[in-house]
Amino acid sequence: MPKTATRAGARHQINFDLNTWLDARSAATNTALDRFLPSEKTKPATIHKAMRYSIFAGGKRMRPALTLAAAEACGGTEADALPLACAVECIHTYSLIHDDLPAMDNDDFRRGKPTNHKVFGEGIAVLAGDALLTQAFEITSLAKGWPRYSHRDLVLEVAKASGSLQLIAGQVADLEGEGQKLSVAELRYIHERKTSALLCCAARLGGMSANCTPAQLQALTDFGYHVGLAFQVIDDILDVTQTSEQLGKTAGKDIAAQKATYPSIVGLEKSRKIAQQLTAKAFAALKPFKGRAAALEALAHYLLTRDK
């Protein structure tokens, strides 16, 4: 992991050991998820096996990391942020299971393993996704409420990001855009909803778990929005530059499905520039934290330079 990152165009020394930080946060997230999800033996065992199969298939845990890093930046604790980090990961994993179904992207591999429906069949995969979505709300209800952020606020935050105006809207536009020539503005509409909404929600929930100030919440919103957009531009780039083995999912899917992407509309070089510009805006959003957002900075840099 490089320890320097570009902040708003200038070389900026971060001196932050993200690998060690991420290993510890991923381990804490996995332990908490293991506690929140019913065991594989709980009846009906098939559905709990299917939920756990995808949750523990080896995702990068970037959304929980954003929640925990945002909580740290606002002076919060890991214990208070963990339920919300797990809730976001449940929503994310549900969306991947459904996205991989034959009725959607029809993918055989995810997180380096056969997709949920390949192992458990389509019916159980649909239900495993549904159950993880529902589980996310149960976990959210178990998080601590605060003077500034009640349980109602937390539930609303998760519901809005995953509902028909955000995550689902992005997926609808993505499906309807297949085979169409889209403008950059139309592509950004998809990215804002399909990807950025949940990353932004992850960062905001971290702040909310720390009873952050309205100014801090606004900074996390700006940060999450731009990091989320950069994340999807990089995802589009990796789809054409990496192998399926490296990605743990089928590479080259966007071209095969005739999906509009940044590389297909503006080319690879310009796409890389756009991802850098978006990341610079994310760094700029962290100004109010005055150096207390080292983990968030390191994460934004990692998301820009990742190779899988």
State the binding string over 228-267 for ligand GRG (x if CB under 6 A, else -).
----x--x--------------------------------
Spacing of C-alpha 209 from chain mean position? 18
- What residues contact 101, with CB distance under 8 A and at least 6 apart? 117, 122, 125, 126
Binding residue (CB under 6 A) for ligand GRG from 52, 194, 204, 281: 194
* Phi, psi of 104, deg, nearest 5: -110, -110
Judged by beta carbon, residue 59 or residue 76, the one nearer ligand GRG is 59
Other CB atoms within a 10 A radius of the CB of residue 68 amount to: 31
Residue with tokens 């192992």: 119
Binding residue (CB under 6 A) for ligand GRG from 1, 47, 60, 266: 60
- Listed ranges 46-54, 65-73, 92-100, 175-183: which one lies at the site for ligand GRG (CB under 6 A): 92-100
Min separation Cβ 88 and ligand GRG, Å: 11
96 binds ligand GRG (CB under 6 A): yes
Nearest to 125 by CA among 93, 109, 107, 101: 101
Q: How far apart are CA 302 and CA 298, in angstroms?
A: 6
- Listed ranges 36-44, 69-77, 90-98, 265-273: which one lies at the site for ligand GRG (CB under 6 A): 90-98
Binding residue (CB under 6 A) for ligand GRG from 29, 115, 116, 195: 195
Binding residue (CB under 6 A) for ligand GRG from 111, 117, 204, 281: 111
Q: Are 30 and 56 in contact (CB under 8 A)?
A: yes
Q: Are 173 and 35 in contact (CB under 8 A)?
A: no
Q: How far apart are CA 234 and CA 276, in angstroms?
A: 10
Judged by beta carbon, residue 119 or residue 284, the one nearer ligand GRG is 119
- Listed ranges 34-42, 59-67, 260-268, 273-281: which one lies at the site for ligand GRG (CB under 6 A): 59-67
Judged by beta carbon, residue 52 or residue 194, the one nearer ligand GRG is 194
Other CB atoms within a 10 A radius of the CB of residue 180 amount to: 10
Q: How far apart are the first and last CA of the chain?
A: 14
140 binds ligand GRG (CB under 6 A): no
Residues within the interface to ligand GRG (CB under 6 A)? 59-60, 62, 92, 95-96, 98-99, 111, 167-168, 171, 194-195, 232, 235
